[in-house]
Structure 1
Amino acid sequence: MRVRRTVLRSAAAIAVAVSLAACTNAPPPPLVTTEVARTQATKAPTLNEAVVGVDSVQGGYNPHKLADQSTITTALADVLLPSVFRPAADGTPTLDGTLMVSAEVTSAEPYTVTYRLRPEAAWSDSAPIAAEDFVYLWEQLRTEPGVLDSAGYRLIGNISAREAGRVVEVTFTKPYPGWRTLFSDLLPAHLLKDMPGGWASVLRDNFPVTGGPFSLKGIDRDRGEAVLERNDRYWAAPVPLDRIILRRGDTTGVANALRSGHNQLALLSPDAAGQSALKALEPLATTTTVPRSTVATLLLRPVGTAMADPRIRSVLAALIDRQALTAAGTGGGPGSALPANAQVLAPSARGYTATVPANTPDKPDVALAENLLTQAGYTKVDGSWSLGGTPLNLVIAAPEGRKSYVDMARELQRQLSVGGVQSRLVTPDGADLFTRLLAPRPATAAVAEADRIDLVLAPQPAAGDPATLLAGRFGCAPTTPGEPGQPSTAPQADNPAGFCDPGLQPTIDQALTGELAFTAAAEQVEPALWSRTVALPLYQEADTLLTGRVMSGVSTGPPWAGPFATATQWRRAEG
């Protein structure tokens, strides 16, 4: 019964509700819904950075070592290390006003240069850039083997400081007109002077601090990437870009990255095919050639029994095809347009003129080589030249990891083989090659057979004061006065070529100290160097710079400095 009454009451309630609804004209309440918020994809903001495609980020990175000369070393030094002078647009040294207040010759006797640094100039760890950094560089570059510009630093007799190291007085033992090329790329002495491993470890893997507009966040060799960020502790005006990323890639990969916008710049050394592929990017990116501060050179070292004979060096010159060596090294890339035909100045240098003798053959002269070998007492047995039953077997060296130089060394080996001269190719680590195997040694010092190097394919420095270059490439080491009644030590070679000519040394010294203008000295020395056949310059190394349309303020940079010298003006368009 109870269930029936409940059902009846429910039915009655429903009937009443229906009646009431039928008695009104009001529509039913609207259905209220919650609208789903609509989202619109937004474009991620463009980072204020530039990605630069490069061939390699491998070190070392010490700009003062012959073994470390490379595009990446120059680029990092330009933005991380302070310099007293930097090259102007015409290549002349110009005082860097961000670091220096002044630098001038303040005394003629003794020859003294006084440097005054800006009081706010400091390394990124807040240590001041001061006199100790000048002293450290002087001490290393006057004594260590395998360094650049040692001839100029050896003329310094003393360095003193005042005003808490902000005023530096450098006294020279002789006048030195090339003093403005000294103290570039200063190094942080307070961190490096007691570094484990000494000079050999300096900037081998990284930069401990920076004294430039950028700092180095890190280098990842496995990924092939180096990241530069704006140095917040830089005392001068901040740079426009927040970050520069150097990213390794082959020519095809870098071209694709520029086309897609993942890269904004590139600095590469392509072969002929790669050069064409990069040119095809225009007008998406402009391409320009950037000569480097190095000249690819074949050194014919006059050391050892065979190579000390000038006739043998003349034999090799007669067998060598310089154009074929250049083709092997450049692959038809930008360096092939810069053939080097002078012993000291590079093709892009001011005042460069070819000094190669007019009678130098363009192609190998096998007949001349055979005639010279016969005169020297050699005989040809089974296609190879021998002296007293001992084959003429030379050692050719090229730095490990430098593909262009190893390729040239293999081509040289092939050319000598055609002429009946046996050879063996070695590829030591660059640091070992320049600091030990090619280091100056007394003429009387015995050379182990495993360390003997007869011919070297390697880069030779081309930047800086021409007279200093001449002394560094072909000069003798300073002689040491003997005890009373004893003769002075005999002149010794002081260069990777192992060459020292006491007859030429006075002219080299006079050019270095300004007693003789370099042009006058070159007129005397260049013909002699060609006749001695101790160095065959091949070509000036060069890169190709690609600049995407989103970038402004980018240029090839002053001579010898390169594009990164202009990085403080680089800007990237928004969007």
Structure 2
Amino acid sequence: MRRLGGVLAAAILCGTAAACTNAPPPPLVPKSEAPVITTTGPKVTEIVVGVDDVAGGYNPHSLAAQSPITTALSSLLLPSAFRAGADGTPQLDRNLMVSAKVTKAEPFTVTYTIRKDASWSDSAPIAAEDFYYLWQRMRSEPGVVDPAGYRLINNISAREGGKVVEVAFGKPFPGWRSLFANLLPAHLLKDAPGTWSNVLSSNFPATAGPFAVRSLDEPRGEVILERSDRYWEVPTTLDRVVIRRATHTAMAESLSKGDNQAALLRADASDVNLLKAIQDLTTKPVPRNEVAQVLLRPVSEQLKDVKTRKAIVAALDRDALIASGTQSGPSAQFRADSYVVPPSRTGYQATITGNTLNAAVSDQLLTEVGYAKNAQGSWEKGGKALKLRIAAPEKVEPYVVIANRMKAQLAERGIQAEVVTPNAEDLFSKQLLEKDIDLAVVPRVDAGDSAAGLASAYGCVGDAPDGATPSPQNPAGFCDPAIQSDIDAALNGKVLLSDALARIEPQIQAQAVALPLFQVVDLLGVLPTVSGVDAGAPLAGVLSGAPEWRRRDK
């Protein structure tokens, strides 16, 4: 009966049904109009660049964040009033600015006019508040790059909805074009929780350039930049730039296969040979905006006496320190024999000659300040050993390698030392403001104006204007009133920088507060499948030219 009921039910359902046949149902869309389904989309035009690391932070104004990836991202994602031209001189960036010029001599005033259509990626306008925010941070925060020029500013005012910015200085500053590069989105940062150390620590909350961040994956070691739909100027030809972390061997393999089109790495002699073996690959050095140096800090209790500092310099083999840091790579050709101007910049003049090592002089000076060697061959005074604390930023090369080589050199001369490697942010924003660090192996960063670099590295801290937070001291903790007038004269344009340096550098050398070593230089490798990928403008970084890059094989 159950079987019979099922048959009857089927008959009722079919009723008039021609539909209860084995024939397929008619198509809903005529065959000629059916959509064609494909499994691939349009080809994405991209260039992949291999790098040593993509780790943050990414604040270009922080000494702790200096790296090729920081330079690369800031050059593409942050707006600047001026950018380095082909010869290194600042050129007005007309993608952002209408004009920028000195409009008043007393007080020295510069007026900036920003394009009305220039905006951040969240549609907020780029305006005076971005200038004001950067000024406030640069004149008061510790561990920033070349703050001297910003500290000359007395006031910033705005008109025309913030698109016209008037910057009034307390004193003339011929290097004013070096200011307000890599502006930050003040509307998102000024009231954000946290401190200056959190700014761009892991991402970019807003950008303003030809590219935007599609993804920034530190653990995976990859940054993907895509053409920005919100960019108000001519869009880039490339759809995408991929920056990918890899070992040097992996980079070479990716270049050989054509998976990467370029690589930027801190190379030693073996890496140079590794890339030379790749067919059709073009290589060239790319100087960074940093010089590896040793600071001998007069604020340290043990190094407050100039004779002790001179004794330490004489105990160091500068040539060997340079060799250990460069490893016969591209940096070896950029020995830094000046206390202020990097070797790759126009105006560089070598003022340091010969090696520093002189064991007899070192021993004599230590004896003169009251030290004597004990039975173990170590220097001590009043029963207390001379033991120095050498600091280098954690996991940042070549600084840690150099610090350890220094420790070994000092041990050979009977001078005890320990190497400490705090994280970079803690070192630059805290520890170098205190007296616990005797020697520091750190970069001297060039932000574009050598007079400001001189004042930032060796100048005394002035009084803070209008009750602002007092300016932090320079990383060496050095102040010599005898040379301050020359530093101020160079900063304010009263004398030529070259004339000022001719007087100042011998005095810096006599004070034994710094020992320059070499400019840090990366190696760029480029395949012929791309065009436009070059070293970029001086100290601007390889990716500064990415808007002009092209693929030749697509």
Q: Same fold (TM over 0.5)?
A: yes
Cα displacement string for residues 281-330 of structure 1 (whole angstroms, at most 9, x for unaligned residues): 242x2101111100000001112332011111111111111121122222
How many residues get paired? 512
Cα displacement string for residues 430-488 of structure 1 (whole angstroms, at most 9, x for unaligned residues): 0000000112x6xxxxx5xxxx100000111123111100000000000479xxxxxxx
What is the one-letter code of the residue matched to 2:504?
V
Which of 196, 206, 209 is the aligned partner of 1:209?
206
Unaligned runs of 5+ in 2: 1-37
Asked whether the 8 Å contact 2:178–2:447 carries over to 1, the reply is no
Question: 1:141 aligns to what?
Answer: 138
What is the one-letter code of the residue matched to 1:94?
Q
Which of 393, 398, 418 is the aligned partner of 1:399?
393
Instruction: Tell me which moved more, 301-310 or 140-149.
Output: 301-310
Matched, 1:300 2:261: no
1:58/1:519 Cα in 2 relative to 1: closer, same or farther (>3 Å)? same
Question: 2:319 aligns to what?
Answer: 323
Asked whether the 8 Å contact 1:294–1:463 carries over to 2, the reply is no
1:154 & 1:91 partners in 2: Cα distance? 24
Give the secondary-structure state (helix, strand or coil) at the position aligned to 1:154: helix
Question: 1:346 aligns to what?
Answer: 342
1:535/1:363 Cα in 2 relative to 1: closer, same or farther (>3 Å)? closer
Question: 2:513 aligns to what?
Answer: 534
Q: Which one has the largest radius of gyration?
A: 1
Matched, 1:355 2:337: no
Which of 440, 459, 469 is the aligned partner of 1:456?
440
1:236 & 1:182 partners in 2: Cα distance? 23
2:112 & 2:367 partners in 1: Cα distance? 60
2:220 & 2:326 partners in 1: Cα distance? 26
Give the secondary-structure state (helix, strand or coil) at the position aligned to 1:293: strand
Cα displacement string for residues 122-179 of structure 1 (whole angstroms, at most 9, x for unaligned residues): 0010000000000000010011010012111111111111110010011111111010
Matched, 1:51 2:35: no
What is the one-letter code of the residue matched to 2:437?
I
Question: 1:516 aligns to what?
Answer: 495
What is the one-letter code of the residue matched to 2:406?
L
Question: 2:362 aligns to what?
Answer: 369
Asked whether the 8 Å contact 1:152–1:182 carries over to 2, the reply is yes
- Once the two structures are TM-superposed, the CA of residue 363 in structure 1 deviates from its matched residue by 5.9
- Show the 5 A alignment for 1:123-522: 123-283=120-280, 285-356=281-352, 358=353, 360=354, 362=355, 364-381=357-374, 382-439=376-433, 447=435, 452-479=436-463, 494-522=473-501
- Once the two structures are TM-superposed, the CA of residue 75 in structure 1 deviates from its matched residue by 0.2
What is the one-letter code of the residue matched to 1:318?
A
1:480/1:129 Cα in 2 relative to 1: closer, same or farther (>3 Å)? closer
Cα displacement string for residues 383-442 of structure 1 (whole angstroms, at most 9, x for unaligned residues): 100001000000000000113211111000000000000011100010000000112x6x
Unaligned runs of 5+ in 1: 1-40, 442-446, 482-490
1:282/1:288 Cα in 2 relative to 1: closer, same or farther (>3 Å)? farther
Give % identity: 52
What is the one-letter code of the residue matched to 1:364?
L
Cα displacement string for residues 26-78 of structure 1 (whole angstroms, at most 9, x for unaligned residues): xxxxxxxxxxxxxxx99997530011000000111000001111100000000
Which of 546, 550, 553 is the aligned partner of 1:571?
550
RMSD over aligned Cα atoms: 1.7
What is the one-letter code of the residue matched to 1:341?
D
What TM-score results when the alignment is normalised by the length of structure 1?
0.87
